[in-house]
Structure 1
Amino acid sequence: MGLLSEGRPLSWPETKKNAHIVHKVGIQQFLSLYHKHKDRKDTLKWGDEVEYTLLKFDDKTERVQLSLMGPHILNTLQVPENSDPVHHQSKWRPEYASFMIEGTPGATPYGGCYLHFNIVESNLKLRRQQLAEMLEGTGTEAMSLTGFARFGCPGFTTPEHDPKEDNAASLSLFFPDSAIWSGHPRYRTLTRNIRERRGDNPAINVPVFKDKHTPSPFVEEFPTDVRGTAARGALPDHIYMDCMGFGMGLSCLQVTFQACDVDEGRHLYDQLSVICPILASLAASSCIYRGMLSDLDSRMNIIEASVDDRTEEERGLKPLKEDRYVIPKSRYSSIDCYLANKDYNDKEVVYNKEAFETLKKGGVDDLLAQHIAHLFVRDPISLFAEKLKQSSDSETDHFENIQSTNWQSMRFKPPPSHDSPIGWRVEFRPLDLSLTDIENAAFVVFVVLVSRAILSFQLNFYIPMSKAEENMRRSQLRDAVNSQKFYFRKSVVPEDEEEAKDHPPQSHDHEYTEMSINTIINGKDEFPGLIPLVRMYVNSVEMDVDTRCTVLNYLRFISKKASGELMTTASWTRKFVSSHPDYKQDSVVSEKITYDLYKEMKMISNGEKPCPEVTGNLVSKSPDKYKVLDCPPPKAEK
């Protein structure tokens, strides 16, 4: 969701004029936060975020559209938390688009109580039920979808809006401004300022899936826009999209952990970043864009391009003259550097030298200073007139302005304010959404359990950053689970000290190799695999029988996903489209196919129809089996 400041949003020229204030004061605000909280100790707390998509079905015309009802139902959804801030069971927040809405667990996050693993699914079901009650009688369904198949096609929203007449912020050929969340000016401001800072519309090019009758080369014809140009960023054999909405309109599943201290947070950030592409492949569910089958199964590349506000100079297309840095990647990407071990940072990190020196002089170590300074090569892209004047010692908006608009696969999060009860956190961000609550619960619990195994067994997943970036690229390819191999460390348990001495620390080639996801998750020969390691952790702790059964149920599901026994949602979607009687093997996903696809998905989501190809024998719990977040307070696990 990001920082939601109130006030008058500044234009891009006004924002650019004041960017130096944000850079200077923002670094001072981080320093103040750091020294206030660098010695604090906390216990494990964690929670998930699900971004739901609102779909309107018209059974008479056999058509489905994105419903722009999000802002209209948010206030009502928030009544329980506003009337009882202590005991509410869910929280609701806006997201980028009016057809999206974000739900999280309630006032009390999950923690070190193992029974919490048993109530994740119940809380997800509660949220879905609350949305269903809110939407009853409207013909609108809330579904956990990553993307919408005909996003950007004519009339894809209800009410319908013409992008040619409704695109002052986006200047998009396909995406009307009315689809952007209307309840807060942040989102339209971001859309406009990203485009204006870049000097052109974002150019999102997704390789099209070449079927038997797909034209080759595949070249689209586009209408001329208000500037007299026609999609000048479009590439042949690619599906073209042209604004922030195409990326930030995609939904995801995120998991946030509170670490026991800043050092544990940095360690988890590093180790979990290596797992990001592996789980992104397993959770892949987004393969159709603008009504066309693509050759990708996951969303990261699309979002990365949609918010790429780098100028031509920053992209290296022109010599530096007006700008200060050549920046290799968009502000949405995989991470750029590890925070707890410099030996594996084998790629040059572009960072703000002045910010780095200020942080160093302020007592921050090199690696953390470099991380914060590399965030501060970016300009603020959403700034409010009333928030320009900020205190360095008691406010954090300028730091959060930069922090919350660097959207990376992992996010390292300091306490949100100087007097906050919330500690140092890391956010795991690469997961696409699954259709059912039990699948999403399985992924959430697995990520949490991997983090516990990392800490308990001192696991070491480090590989060179260049290899981790290559893994992220591979993770998005079609059927990556079965078709790709990924760089992974050969030995993830602590090495014998004598064996470690046999290799100089600057040489890491001997430490990793390419593995299948099946090997990484399930193990093979001498490599233990993540599932066996997590099982070892589960067996090492005191967990009640029922919770253990739930966890093992989830682990079997993840194991079968990795082995290829179960399909990813993306692979199932491709199979549905390719077998539809209206599909002409030309990569086109028509309105009729889209309607039938989402009717099927709706029945699967609501438990009306099983989908054993995707979910296998996952056993869902009754939503009433546990009181949501009603858990005894045993000794918390750090």
Structure 2
Amino acid sequence: MGLLSQGSPLSWEETQRHADHVRRHGILQFLHIYHAVKDRHKDVLKWGDEVEYMLVSFDHENKKVQLVLSGEEVLETLQEKGERTNPNHPTLWRPEYGSYMIEGTPGQPYGGTMSEFNTVEDNMRKRRQEATSLLGDNQAVCTITSFPRLGCPGFTLPEFRPRPVEGGASKSLFFPDEAINKHPRFSTLTRNIRHRRGEKVVINVPIFKDKNTPSPFIETFAEDDEAAKAAKPDHIYMDAMGFGMGNCCLQVTFQACSISEARYLYDQLATICPIVMALSAASPFYRGYVSDIDCRWGVISASVDDRTREERGLEPLKNNSYRISKSRYDSIDSYLSECGEKYNDLDLTIDREIYGHLLQEGIDHLLAQHVAHLFIRDPLTLFEEKIHLDDANESDHFENIQSTNWQTMRFKPPPPNSDIGWRVEFRPMEVQLTDFENSAYVVFVVLLTRVILSYKLDFLIPLSKVDENMKVAQKRDAVLRDRFYFRKDICKGGSAVVDGCGKAAGAEPAAEEYALMTIDTIINGKEGVFPGLIPILNSYLENMEVDVDTRCSILNYLKLIKKRASGELMTVARWMREFIAKHPDYKQDSVITDEINYSLLLKCNQIANELCECPELLGPAFRKVKYSGSKTDPSN
């Protein structure tokens, strides 16, 4: 999760005093990097995935499941047994926001050969097994996006009470500070977001109205005036960073061969983000209730929204410089490639002084406005030991701002003095229950980047439409019930797409360039409307030399994506909803009790470890290979 500096964290007041220093030197650091590597070409394709995991404990006697606050200890052992002992160890482990979370990646980046696709699932299995081997009896590593009873009384092991009145990082009514990773970055982020905003974060998620759900659904917080004002009728109220950053996701980072290719991929994939997010929907439950959304994006966006009332447009500007339209965790606000310029139809707030400085230094308009937009934000954490740096050889101040702009896509310059190239990160996916599913989504996205570059495809539409798609993608059953703006002719760019996008780059976009389509049409195609991404990927595969095993694996992954898009297979969110609805203890009141949560998580863990089949989610042909490492099946 971003930059993890060691040292003594400063208070918000101290950090704020150094904000201009961080921004000024962050720009100098970016310029040093840019001028050193702007002409770098021919970097080979490398890529890797990041999977976030939750540690859970099953109490089979009392039918209860809790989040285990041992992430730091498990992580320390994983790193000691892994990368510290063997630099070529096949897995890498990193901390995450929750002290019940860890993040696993492949030990080395994957390369550009097609056979690499056949190793992704095996590596994910290794990660699951490595982490599981360090857990106690009846504990498990789960890849679930949101823990259904996060923030409910007793949701952690050991149990801790929230401290909304006493001094603490979040002052949450529901989320104890002990559930936050002990690294000072995380509690400092939590505290400083609250201090900068001037109040606790406010998250309101619409509740799913079932047969016996109270209408209106109203929670009362008599002991907390702030909560009483913030909570909305018919919504699930949450008040802490942990409700967003305490969720899990699946991400992919690619190294491009040059800065121009990275900018092109950044733009093209930005339009794909809402489509894949809806396809990977896996988080319908919050704070012990059934919600009316299927994805975490809006929750996590609100959970780190540090904008003041002035910046949110609720009061006249007096102490702040800008009105800012979005949280710092949201969709991108501008395309970076020349062919994207005519589709930049959002009102972009930028730091004019930084923008002018970048132009003077030879940075082009599009990249300059991108960076100047990121730098309207304040640094949220700063360590005493990291204030005065060597701008020519360090990039901590740049990364301080860059890594706390959590957008759907991230454009990543190389670290100083490294052999790493220009990269882009694809960030909207929800993590899936099984290694097979997670591999399928990763392979689909990576293969799509190969096709975009090989066929010079053009998915660009106005960014305002991408924003609309992001809102729609989070809705309940958006995959089946909603339509998304998508470009109709994706081959118009021809061979000129990467290098300048043809002579039409300056023309205004026409409404007939795009249309509203179902995800089934976008993914699988519809005659006379759109060719479909899966048929295009299949065509690409037919023209590539691929060994039989790899081809078989890829086709199985694409089959999952194809069937999720058509509705033949359920999304994880839909499957979870139906599981809850059919549970004998569910009262059709939108409440997820401890026992219901236990049944759901036990089933999720059995599916993840291939102890049972789940044809609604994975299809009837999904292989069933009993994994002997599971410690959580009560029949063991």
TM-score interval, smaller chain: over 0.9
Give SS of 1:399's match. Answer: helix
Map of 1:537 onto structure 2: 540
Mapped to 1, the partners of 2:625 and 2:557 lie a distance apart of 16
Contact 1:438/1:618 (<8 A) preserved: no
Give SS of 1:430's match. Answer: strand
CA deviation digits over 1:292-327, x for unaligned, max 9? 000000010000000000000100111111100000
Displacement of 1:222: 2.0
Contact 1:122/1:621 (<8 A) preserved: no
Matched, 1:237 2:234: yes
Matched, 1:607 2:610: yes
Mapped to 2, the partners of 1:104 and 1:82 lie a distance apart of 12
Map of 2:551 onto structure 1: 548
Map of 1:593 onto structure 2: 596
Counterpart among 257, 278, 290 of residue 293 in structure 1: 290
Mapped to 2, the partners of 1:484 and 1:124 lie a distance apart of 32
CA deviation digits over 1:548-578, x for unaligned, max 9? 1111111111100100000000000000111
Q: How does 1:358-397 map to 2 (within 5 A)?
A: 358-397=357-396
Map of 1:314 onto structure 2: 311
Give SS of 2:201's match. Answer: coil
Give the direction of change, closer, same or farther, for the CA distance of 1:156–1:327 in structure 2 (3 Å limit). same
Give SS of 2:326's match. Answer: coil
Displacement of 1:164: 2.5
Mapped to 1, the partners of 2:405 and 2:573 lie a distance apart of 27
Counterpart among 563, 567, 570 of residue 570 in structure 2: 567
Map of 1:177 onto structure 2: 177
Mapped to 1, the partners of 2:504 and 2:341 lie a distance apart of 20
Map of 1:524 onto structure 2: 526
Contact 2:525/2:532 (<8 A) preserved: yes
Map of 1:8 onto structure 2: 8
Give SS of 2:133's match. Answer: helix
Map of 2:514 onto structure 1: 512
CA deviation digits over 1:436-463, x for unaligned, max 9? 1001000000000000000000000000
* Mean CA deviation greater in 505-514 or 146-155: 505-514
Contact 1:553/1:619 (<8 A) preserved: no
Q: How does 1:609-624 map to 2 (within 5 A)?
A: 609-617=612-620, 619-620=622-623
Contact 1:125/1:623 (<8 A) preserved: no
Map of 1:328 onto structure 2: 325
Contact 1:80/1:88 (<8 A) preserved: no
Mapped to 1, the partners of 2:87 and 2:575 lie a distance apart of 41
Counterpart among 220, 244, 248 of residue 247 in structure 1: 244
Contact 1:164/1:173 (<8 A) preserved: yes
Matched, 1:125 2:125: yes
Contact 2:487/2:513 (<8 A) preserved: yes
Contact 2:522/2:532 (<8 A) preserved: yes
Mapped to 2, the partners of 1:517 and 1:368 lie a distance apart of 31
Give the direction of change, closer, same or farther, for the CA distance of 1:201–1:190 in structure 2 (3 Å limit). same
Mapped to 1, the partners of 2:97 and 2:266 lie a distance apart of 25
Q: How does 1:195-210 map to 2 (within 5 A)?
A: 195-210=194-209
Mapped to 2, the partners of 1:148 and 1:354 lie a distance apart of 44
Mapped to 2, the partners of 1:223 and 1:575 lie a distance apart of 34
The code of the aligned residue for 1:64 comes to V
Mapped to 2, the partners of 1:219 and 1:563 lie a distance apart of 37
Give SS of 1:515's match. Answer: strand
Map of 2:630 onto structure 1: none
Displacement of 1:614: 0.6
Contact 1:69/1:99 (<8 A) preserved: yes
The code of the aligned residue for 1:327 comes to I
Map of 1:477 onto structure 2: 475
Mapped to 2, the partners of 1:366 and 1:192 lie a distance apart of 36
Contact 1:337/1:371 (<8 A) preserved: yes
Give SS of 1:149's match. Answer: coil
CA deviation digits over 1:577-623, x for unaligned, max 9? 11111111111111111011111111111100111101114545989
Displacement of 1:37: 1.1
Contact 1:205/1:238 (<8 A) preserved: yes
The code of the aligned residue for 1:24 comes to R
Mapped to 2, the partners of 1:58 and 1:496 lie a distance apart of 59
- RMSD over equivalenced CA pairs, Å: 1.7
Displacement of 1:113: 1.7
Mapped to 1, the partners of 2:333 and 2:619 lie a distance apart of 36
Mapped to 1, the partners of 2:524 and 2:193 lie a distance apart of 42
Mapped to 2, the partners of 1:213 and 1:320 lie a distance apart of 45
Mapped to 1, the partners of 2:274 and 2:283 lie a distance apart of 15
Gaps of 5+ in 2: 496-501, 628-636
The code of the aligned residue for 1:457 comes to Y
CA deviation digits over 1:358-394, x for unaligned, max 9? 1111111000111111000000001111111122211
Matched, 1:152 2:151: yes
Contact 1:122/1:622 (<8 A) preserved: no
* Mean CA deviation greater in 388-397 or 330-339: 388-397
Contact 2:304/2:328 (<8 A) preserved: yes
Query: TM (normalized to structure 1)?
Result: 0.94
Contact 1:315/1:328 (<8 A) preserved: yes
* Mean CA deviation greater in 156-165 or 361-370: 156-165
* Mean CA deviation greater in 534-543 or 606-615: 534-543
Contact 1:78/1:91 (<8 A) preserved: yes
Displacement of 1:538: 1.1
Contact 2:411/2:423 (<8 A) preserved: yes
Contact 1:355/1:373 (<8 A) preserved: yes
Counterpart among 447, 450, 466 of residue 449 in structure 1: 447
Mapped to 2, the partners of 1:395 and 1:501 lie a distance apart of 40
Map of 1:630 onto structure 2: none
Mapped to 2, the partners of 1:548 and 1:622 lie a distance apart of 21
Instruction: Give the 4+ runs in structure 1 shifted more than 3 A.
Output: 80-86, 228-231, 500-504, 617-624
Contact 2:63/2:598 (<8 A) preserved: yes
CA deviation digits over 1:2-30, x for unaligned, max 9? 10111110111111111000010000100
* Mean CA deviation greater in 502-511 or 75-84: 502-511
Give the direction of change, closer, same or farther, for the CA distance of 1:3–1:488 in structure 2 (3 Å limit). same
The code of the aligned residue for 1:443 comes to Y
Map of 1:633 onto structure 2: none
Map of 1:634 onto structure 2: none
Give SS of 1:246's match. Answer: helix
Displacement of 1:84: 4.2
Contact 2:611/2:625 (<8 A) preserved: no
Contact 2:342/2:506 (<8 A) preserved: no
Q: How does 1:45-124 map to 2 (within 5 A)?
A: 45-106=46-107, 108-124=108-124
Give SS of 2:229's match. Answer: coil
Identity %: 56
Gaps of 5+ in 1: 625-638
Mapped to 2, the partners of 1:413 and 1:8 lie a distance apart of 27
Contact 1:43/1:259 (<8 A) preserved: yes
Mapped to 2, the partners of 1:607 and 1:348 lie a distance apart of 49
Map of 2:633 onto structure 1: none
Contact 2:614/2:620 (<8 A) preserved: no
Give the direction of change, closer, same or farther, for the CA distance of 1:40–1:495 in structure 2 (3 Å limit). closer
Give the direction of change, closer, same or farther, for the CA distance of 1:476–1:230 in structure 2 (3 Å limit). closer
The code of the aligned residue for 2:409 comes to M
The code of the aligned residue for 2:151 comes to G
Map of 2:351 onto structure 1: 352
Map of 2:255 onto structure 1: 258
The code of the aligned residue for 1:364 comes to I
Give SS of 2:230's match. Answer: coil
Mapped to 2, the partners of 1:113 and 1:454 lie a distance apart of 16
Give SS of 1:83's match. Answer: coil
Contact 1:453/1:459 (<8 A) preserved: yes
Displacement of 1:260: 0.5
Give the direction of change, closer, same or farther, for the CA distance of 1:324–1:461 in structure 2 (3 Å limit). same
